[in-house]
Protein backbone atom coordinates (compact mmCIF):
# COMPACT_ATOMS: atom_id res chain seq x y z
CA UNK A 1 0.00 0.00 0.00
CA UNK A 2 1.24 3.47 -0.85
CA UNK A 3 2.57 5.44 2.10
CA UNK A 4 0.04 8.24 1.49
CA UNK A 5 -2.79 5.73 1.81
CA UNK A 6 -1.29 4.40 5.04
CA UNK A 7 -1.03 7.94 6.38
CA UNK A 8 -4.65 8.65 5.44
CA UNK A 9 -5.81 5.46 7.18
CA UNK A 10 -3.88 6.33 10.34
CA UNK A 11 -5.37 9.84 10.33
CA UNK A 12 -8.88 8.47 9.87
CA UNK A 13 -8.41 6.00 12.72
CA UNK A 14 -7.26 8.85 14.95
CA UNK A 15 -10.37 10.84 13.98
CA UNK A 16 -12.48 7.91 15.09
CA UNK A 17 -11.08 8.05 18.59
CA UNK A 18 -12.58 6.10 21.44
CA UNK A 19 -15.82 7.95 22.16
CA UNK A 20 -17.99 4.96 21.24
CA UNK A 21 -16.02 2.51 23.36
CA UNK A 22 -15.95 4.91 26.33
CA UNK A 23 -19.69 5.55 26.13
CA UNK A 24 -20.47 1.84 25.92
CA UNK A 25 -18.17 1.10 28.85
CA UNK A 26 -19.75 3.84 30.96
CA UNK A 27 -23.37 3.09 30.10
CA UNK A 28 -23.49 -0.68 29.67
CA UNK A 29 -25.40 -1.22 32.93
CA UNK A 30 -28.11 1.36 32.24
CA UNK A 31 -31.67 0.38 31.44
CA UNK A 32 -33.39 1.35 28.19
CA UNK A 33 -35.34 3.96 30.16
CA UNK A 34 -32.14 5.50 31.51
CA UNK A 35 -30.63 5.54 28.02
CA UNK A 36 -33.67 7.53 26.82
CA UNK A 37 -33.35 10.21 29.53
CA UNK A 38 -31.75 13.56 28.74
CA UNK A 39 -28.07 13.57 29.64
CA UNK A 40 -26.06 16.53 30.89
CA UNK A 41 -26.01 19.86 29.09
CA UNK A 42 -26.13 18.28 25.64
CA UNK A 43 -29.91 18.20 25.48
CA UNK A 44 -29.67 14.70 24.06
CA UNK A 45 -30.28 11.28 25.47
CA UNK A 46 -27.47 8.81 26.01
CA UNK A 47 -29.00 6.69 23.25
CA UNK A 48 -28.86 9.62 20.82
CA UNK A 49 -25.27 10.38 21.73
CA UNK A 50 -24.24 6.75 21.29
CA UNK A 51 -26.06 6.55 17.95
CA UNK A 52 -24.17 9.63 16.73
CA UNK A 53 -20.85 8.12 17.80
CA UNK A 54 -21.68 4.86 16.01
CA UNK A 55 -22.79 6.70 12.86
CA UNK A 56 -19.55 8.70 12.81
CA UNK A 57 -17.52 5.52 13.28
CA UNK A 58 -19.37 3.89 10.37
CA UNK A 59 -18.62 6.86 8.09
CA UNK A 60 -14.95 6.77 9.04
CA UNK A 61 -14.82 3.00 8.50
CA UNK A 62 -16.34 3.54 5.04
CA UNK A 63 -13.73 6.19 4.29
CA UNK A 64 -10.96 3.80 5.35
CA UNK A 65 -12.34 1.13 3.03
CA UNK A 66 -12.50 3.67 0.21
CA UNK A 67 -8.85 4.63 0.74
CA UNK A 68 -7.87 0.95 0.76
CA UNK A 69 -9.73 0.28 -2.49
CA UNK A 70 -8.05 3.23 -4.22
CA UNK A 71 -4.54 2.63 -2.93
pTM: predicted TM-score of the whole model, two decimal places: 0.90
Q: Which of 29, 15, 23, 8 is nearest to 57 (CA)?
A: 15
**Exposed (0-12), middle (13-18) or buried (19+): which is 5, by Cβ within 10 Å?**
middle
Task: Give the model confidence (pLDDT) of 14-67 as tens digits.
Answer: 999 999 999 999 999 999 999 999 999 989 999 999 999 999 999 999 999 999
- What does the pLDDT read at residue 71? 86
DSSP string, 12-36: HHHHHTTHHHHHHHHHTT--HHHHT
Amino acid sequence: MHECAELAIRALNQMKGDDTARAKAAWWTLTDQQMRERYGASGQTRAEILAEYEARDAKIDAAIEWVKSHA
